[in-house]
Amino acid sequence: MSNKVWFITGCSRGFGRIWADAALERGDKVAATARTLASIADLKEKYGDNVLTLELDVTRRDQVKEVVANAHAHFGRLDVVVNNAGYSLVGTVEEASADEVRALYETNIFGALSVIQEVLPLLREQGSGHILGISSTLGHVSMPLIGYYCSSKWAFEAIHESLAAEVKTFGIKVTIVEPGAYATEFGSPSSLKHAASLDIYADLKEKVFGGLKTMERGDPSATPDAVFKVVDAEDPPLRLFLGSHNLPSVRAAYAERLATWEAWESVSNSAQSKAS
């Protein structure tokens, strides 16, 4: 279907900005949202009536409700809903405070849920729609120092997998988009928060950060065509990796898990028995 209407969170930079630009360039219409209107004002200048720029903090449920309603009223429908807003928290499990973890989840999980719950009645009424949840390869594997961010993506994946089964009969599609490492602004201060450091973890951090500095990163401008193939597909996948390094790392992780489960299978089976 051509001339789709997109609703995208987190359009000020990174994938949200790149995909908003690309969708508008191909002639689609976009409700582009960001925490500050100034960061996306140039979209309106460039694309005119094809774009609606809206201020949105996804942690504010009342604002989510208002913005979704405004976008739907303005364009008359929503075809592709992209939950892209999010950030990462750097800190070991011991270092990060409960308040920091709650704040992370308020954006990465509850913010996305607010958008989903507001758009679902509209998508059901029109009998169509495609929700794209932007996750990460880290929705399958975890790393030290960003375990809480990884945990938010694991939860994000489970929620969207359940959602896909729940809304299929309404004509609504769900795809979890899982980018690998890309040269976006995701590592910038506005997308990255740090917990207070404990000296005991200094060596670990030096090793992990040293590895990240040499990690090969993809070009984010190469991603729109893959996203378009998904949203234009009659039968899109539940999950889509972006990048060439994702599958090998996830394949290795699951091979290790299977090997462990199989090695301990007899112990697992011994715990089965039969209920009396």
Residues belonging to the active site: 135, 149, 153
Per the structure block, which two tokens stand in for 223? 């991603």
Any idea which residue has 């290795």 for tokens?
Answer: 252
CB 33 within 8 A of CB 9: yes
Backbone angles phi, psi at 24, to 5 degrees: -70, -40
Tell me how far apart the alpha carbons of residues 137 and 154 are, in angstroms, rounded to a whole number.
10
Name the burial class of residue 124, with classes exposed (0-12), middle (13-18) and buried (19+) by CB atoms within 10 angstroms of its CB: middle
Residue 80: helix, strand or coil by DSSP? strand
Residue 223 DSSP symbol: -
| Bridge partner list, 96 | none
**In sequence order, which residues have a C-beta less than 8 Å from that of residue 125 and are 6 or more positions away?**
none
Residue 23 CA to its chain's centroid (Å): 18
